[in-house]
């Protein structure tokens, strides 16, 4: 089950979002040997070619901190009149070498327009 986290971003600016992931017992999720992928779309129905890809990676693996980044060029291309849906998946190889995927965060992003 994933966590819900909604947030706002400013159009035309670099964006850095840090998220702390926890285990069910509220201890930090160890992110060693994990990779992350995060995308945002205007609609759940959009295909992957219409998605905006975040740079996503474990920032502090020991303390469960994941970092998402968007460039100023990426946020400038967003329509401030719309809400965007996003999710973050973690990937790791299990003991037999199969890649496992877990959705850890999802939510809605609001874009604040730029006036400059």
pLDDT at 44: 85
Cα gap 19→6, rounded to integer Å: 11
With a cut of 60, say whether residue 5 has pLDDT above it: yes
Whether the pTM exceeds 0.95: the reply is: no
Question: Which residues are bridge partners to 70 per DSSP?
Answer: 15
Domain span holding position 43: 3-112
**pLDDT band, residue 46 (cuts 50/70/90):** confident
* The total number of structural domains that make up the chain: 1
Q: Is the predicted pLDDT of residue 1 greater than 70, yes or no?
A: no
Pairing of the two strands 65-70 and 83-93: unpaired
Mean pLDDT to the nearest integer, 90-104: 94
Query: Tokens 């890649």 label which residue?
Result: 99
CATH code for position 104: 2.60.40.3350
pLDDT tens digits along 60-78: 999 999 999 999 999 999 9
Mean pLDDT for 79-93 is 95
What are the tokens at 74? 């990426």
Q: How much is the CA Rg of the chain, to the nearest whole Å?
A: 15
Average pLDDT over residues 99-105: 95
Mean pLDDT of the chain, nearest integer: 93
């Amino acid at each position: 089950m994933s966590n819900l986290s909604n947030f706002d971003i400013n159009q035309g600016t670099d964006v850095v979002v840090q998220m702390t992931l926890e285990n069910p017992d509220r201890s930090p999720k160890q992110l060693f040997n994990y990779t992350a992928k995060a995308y945002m779309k205007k609609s759940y129905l959009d295909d992957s070619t219409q998605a905006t890809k975040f740079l996503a990676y474990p920032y502090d693996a020991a303390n469960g901190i994941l970092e998402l980044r968007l460039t100023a060029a990426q946020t400038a291309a967003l329509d401030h009149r719309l809400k965007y849906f996003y999710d973050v998946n973690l990937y790791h190889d299990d003991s037999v070498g199969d890649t496992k995927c877990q959705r850890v965060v999802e939510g809605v992003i609001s874009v604040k327009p730029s006036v400059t």
